[in-house]
Amino acid sequence: MYSEKVMDHFKNPRNVGEIEDADGIGEVGNPRCGDIMKMYLKIEDGIIIDVKFKTFGCGSAIASSSMATEIIKGKSIDEAMKVTNKAVAEALDGLPPVKMHCSVLAEQAIKSALLDYSRKNNIQIEGLEDFNPNEDVHEHQ
Amino acid sequence: MGKYIYMDNSATTPVKQEVLDEMLPYFNIKYGNPSSIYSLGSQSKNAVEISREKIAKVLNAKTKEIFFTAGGSESDNWALKGVAFANKDKGNHIITSKIEHHGILHTCEYLKKQGFDITYLDVDEYGLIDLDQLKEAITDKTILISIMFANNEIGTIQPIEEVSRIAKEKGVYFHTDAVQAVGHIEIDVNELNIDLLSMSAHKFYGPKGIGALYIRQGVKIDPLISGGAQEGNRRAGTENLPSIVGMAKAIELAYENLNENNARLIKLRDKLIDKILKNIDYVRLNGHPINRLPGNVNVCFEFIEGESLLLSLDMEGIAASSGSACTSGSLEPSHVLLAIGLPHEIAHGSLRLSLGDFNTEEEVDFVVEKLIEIVARLRAMSPLYEKIKEGK
DSSP for B142-206 reads EEEEE--SB-TTT-BBP-HHHHHHHHHHTT-EEEEE-TTTTTTS---TTTTT-SEEEEEGGGTTS
pLDDT at A20 over 50: yes
Q: Are residues B210 and B325 in the same domain?
A: no
* Residue A63 within a domain: yes
* Residue A139 within a domain: no
* Residue A128 within a domain: no
In tens, the pLDDT along B164-173 reads 999 999 999 9
CATH code of residue B295: 3.90.1150.10
How many beta carbons lie within 10 A of that of residue B62, not counting itself? 16
Residues of A serving a catalytic function are 33, 102
In tens, the pLDDT along A62-75 reads 999 999 999 999 99
Give the Cα separation of A96 and A92 in Å (integer): 11
In tens, the pLDDT along B267-279 reads 999 999 999 999 9
Q: Are residues B110 and B74 in the same domain?
A: yes
Phi, psi of B11 (to 5 degrees): -75, -50
Tell me what pLDDT residue B392 has: 63
Strand partners of residue B115: none
Report, as an integer, the average pLDDT of A94-109. 93
Contact B382, B304 (CB under 8 A): yes
In tens, the pLDDT along A23-67 reads 999 999 988 888 999 999 999 999 999 999 999 999 999 999 999
Phi, psi of B299 (to 5 degrees): -130, 160
Tell me what pLDDT residue B327 has: 63
Q: Are residues B187 and B226 in the same domain?
A: yes
* Residue B81 within a domain: yes
Q: Are residues B271 and B189 in the same domain?
A: no
* Residue B284 within a domain: yes
Gap from B311 CA to chain A (nearest CA, Å): 7
Q: Are residues B241 and B358 in the same domain?
A: no
B330 or A50, which is more confident? A50
Q: Which of A10, A58, A65, A140 would you mutate first to test chain B, the one with the most B CBs within 10 A? A: A58
Tell me what pLDDT residue B313 has: 97
DSSP 8-state code for residue A44: E
Strand order, beta sheet including B283-285: B283-285, B296-301, B350-354
* Residue B3 within a domain: no
Report, as an integer, the average pLDDT of B262-268. 98
Percentage of chain B with pLDDT > 70? 98
Element (H, E) at B67: strand B66-69
Tell me what pLDDT residue B385 has: 92
Element (H, E) at B296: strand B296-301
Q: Are residues B21 and B90 in the same domain?
A: yes
Contact B305 A38 (CB under 8 A): no
Percentage of chain A with pLDDT > 90? 84
Report, as an integer, the average pLDDT of B85-109. 98
Domain boundary, last residue among B211, B235, B256: B256
* Residue A141 within a domain: no
Report, as an integer, the average pLDDT of B82-90. 98
Contact B305 A13 (CB under 8 A): no
- B386: nearest CA partner in chain A: A54
- Structurally, chain A folds into a number of domains equal to 1
* Residue B9 within a domain: no
DSSP 8-state code for residue B175: E
* Residue A26 within a domain: yes
CATH code of residue B172: 3.40.640.10
Tell me what pLDDT residue A140 has: 47
Residue in B11, B86, B258, B326 annotated catalytic: B326
Q: Are residues B104 and B162 in the same domain?
A: yes
* Residue A12 within a domain: yes
* Residue A134 within a domain: no
Element (H, E) at B374: helix B361-380
Under the banding of pLDDT at 50, 70 and 90, the label for residue A135 is confident
Domain boundary, last residue among B256, B287, B313: B256
* Residue B8 within a domain: no
Reported ipTM exceeds the 0.90 cut: yes
Containing structural domain, residue A42:
4-122
Mean pLDDT over all residues of chain B?
Answer: 96
Contact B224, B235 (CB under 8 A): yes
Q: Are residues B251 and B286 in the same domain?
A: no
* Residue B159 within a domain: yes
pLDDT at B1 over 60: no
Report, as an integer, the average pLDDT of A96-121. 95
- Structurally, chain B folds into a number of domains equal to 2
Contact A78, A47 (CB under 8 A): no
Report, as an integer, the average pLDDT of B32-47. 98
Tell me what pLDDT residue B48 has: 98
Report, as an integer, the average pLDDT of B241-260. 97
Q: Are residues B226 and B245 in the same domain?
A: yes
Q: Does the active-site annotation cover B300?
A: no
Under the banding of pLDDT at 50, 70 and 90, the label for residue B102 is very high
Chain A residues inside the 8 Å CB shell of B304: 56
pLDDT at B191 over 90: yes
Q: Are residues B267 and B180 in the same domain?
A: no
Contact A56 B304 (CB under 8 A): yes
pLDDT at B196 over 70: yes
pLDDT at B310 over 90: yes
Q: Would residue A35 be called left, alpha or beta, if left means φ above 0 and alpha means ψ between -120 and 50 degrees? A: beta
CA nearest neighbour of B151 among B373, B350, B325, B368: B350
Give the Cα separation of B135 and A14 in Å (integer): 57
Contact B329 A98 (CB under 8 A): yes
Strand partners of residue B212: B68, B199
Tell me what pLDDT residue A138 has: 63
Contact A13 B381 (CB under 8 A): yes
Q: Are residues B299 and B382 in the same domain?
A: yes
- A29: nearest CA partner in chain B: B383
Tell me what pLDDT residue A141 has: 43
* Residue A37 within a domain: yes
A32 → closest Cβ in B311, B345, B380 = B345
Domain boundary, last residue among B215, B241, B256: B256
Q: Are residues B82 and B228 in the same domain?
A: yes
Element (H, E) at B124: none
Containing structural domain, residue B268:
258-389
CATH code of residue A25: 3.90.1010.10
